[in-house]
């Protein structure tokens, strides 16, 4: 399906550099040729298209905004545009890239030793090593400070016990960045551990029965007296600052990315409305209610595009804040989910099948609405910034 010029109503392209457009367009071509023809079947079958990983690595997608160690060194805008195109394909594939780069490679790059960086990052950038991020637990999602995972020092190793849940890439990961409490068990005792596949006591199992992110691996991780050597402990950070900085980094990319799903739904619904006739043979695009739906969708896409671009520019300038990220993630995910639902209605009964994109994106976005900080948590972050009153506790 050709891209619709109207989607760039406010000429966002004019605000992008040649390098930024080149990065976006390369991934867009990959999505069109390699992802869209097969992603519906993977979603239907509940399988992850792992054969796409080398292609993503070749495009520089994995750890795209990191410098050195074989990473592409893109700016935040290029990285956001790349994720937006992956999301236009499917949230599951974009989630893979987000977790690999923003949640696994980033903490190693930011807080790891030089030995850890050289041991893991080049292979991760090439897609030869897959990572996952172990923070969420069965009873602790929005409150990571309550985590029960523990690591105690024993000579030159740490003995790790606990369970992590809803972990993207978990069952295919070669290394898990796992956060656990140490010493007195307070939130400021949290450390990051690089748990490698095959370490005795470490196991991962798939979480069954998902109706969302079906083209993605989602797992529960179990640690039973796993001995992690000192060389696999991140030396550069202690406390919740470590995992929260990773989440803030990932959320900024997700805020940019989700507009890709909205664009896929909008452009598909527009094309469908123009070709679908009803009653007197008139295309349904000519009816007022359909035009209102399309106008509302485009309005929200333009707002999300401008918000994402401004956030990314501020991040590149070192002037963004977690509150800005919360607003962008909250607004853009909600608008993308609303757009997917409205687009589904334009397709009528056809919209509930996976022959068309809206229902797949709608189901995926239900997860994105919750992960990387729930919609409600971001609401309270904004509420605290507005009023100065912490409503969390």
List, by residue number, the catalytic residues: 372
Please name the residue that has the structure tokens 């897959």: 130
Phi, psi torsion values for 7, nearest 5 degrees: -65, -30
State the DSSP code for 371. S
Which distant-in-sequence residues (6+ apart) come within 8 Å of 280 by Cβ?
none
Please name the residue that has the structure tokens 């890709």: 260
Q: How far apart are CA 219 and CA 269, in angstroms?
A: 33
Please name which of 29, 118, 37, 34 lies closest in space to residue 71, comparing C-alpha atoms: 118
Measured over the CA atoms of residue 337, residue 340, residue 343 and residue 348, the dihedral's sign is negative
Please name which of 36, 101, 356, 93 lies closest in space to residue 213, comparing C-alpha atoms: 93
- The residue count for the chain: 393
Please name the residue that has the structure tokens 């966002």: 12
SS3 160: strand
């Amino acid at each position: 399906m050709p891209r619709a010029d109207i989607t760039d109503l406010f000429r966002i392209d004019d605000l992008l550099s040649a390098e930024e457009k080149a990065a976006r367009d390369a991934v867009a071509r990959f999505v069109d040729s390699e992802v869209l023809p097969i992603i519906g079947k993977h979603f239907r079958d509940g399988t992850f298209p792992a054969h796409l990983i080398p292609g993503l690595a070749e495009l520089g997608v994995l750890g795209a905004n990191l410098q050195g160690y074989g990473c592409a060194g893109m700016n935040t805008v290029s990285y956001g545009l790349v994720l937006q195109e992956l999301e236009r394909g499917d949230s599951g594939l974009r989630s893979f890239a987000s977790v690999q780069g923003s949640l696994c490679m980033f903490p190693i790059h930011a807080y790891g030793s030089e030995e850890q960086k050289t041991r893991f990052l080049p292979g991760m950038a090439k897609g030869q090593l897959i990572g996952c991020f172990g923070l969420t637990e069965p009873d602790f999602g929005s409150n990571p400070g309550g985590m029960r995972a523990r690591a105690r020092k024993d000579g030159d190793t740490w003995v790790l016990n606990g369970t992590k849940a809803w972990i993207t890439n978990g069952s295919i990961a070669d290394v898990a960045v796992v956060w656990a409490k140490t010493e007195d068990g307070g939130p400021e005792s949290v450390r990051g551990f690089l748990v490698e596949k095959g370490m005795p006591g470490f196991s991962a199992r798939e979480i069954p029965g998902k109706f969302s992110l079906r083209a993605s691996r989602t797992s529960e991780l179990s640690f039973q007296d796993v001995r992690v050597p000192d060389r696999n402990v991140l030396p550069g950070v202690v406390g919740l600052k470590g995992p929260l900085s990773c989440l803030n980094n990932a959320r900024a990319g997700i805020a940019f990315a989700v507009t890709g799903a909205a664009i896929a739904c909008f452009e598909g619904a527009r094309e469908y409305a123009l070709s679908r006739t009803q009653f007197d043979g008139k295309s349904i695009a000519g009816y007022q209610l359909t035009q209102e739906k399309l106008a509302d969708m485009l309005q929200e896409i333009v707002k999300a595009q401008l918000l994402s671009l401004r956030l990314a520019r501020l991040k590149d300038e070192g002037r963004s804040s977690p509150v800005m990220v919360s607003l962008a993630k909250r607004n853009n995910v909600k608008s993308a989910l609303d757009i997917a639902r409205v687009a589904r209605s334009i397709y009528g009964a056809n919209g509930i099948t996976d022959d068309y994109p809206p229902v797949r994106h709608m189901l995926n976005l239900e997860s994105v609405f919750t992960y990387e900080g729930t919609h409600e948590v971001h609401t309270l972050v904004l509420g605290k910034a507005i009023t100065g009153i912490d409503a969390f506790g």
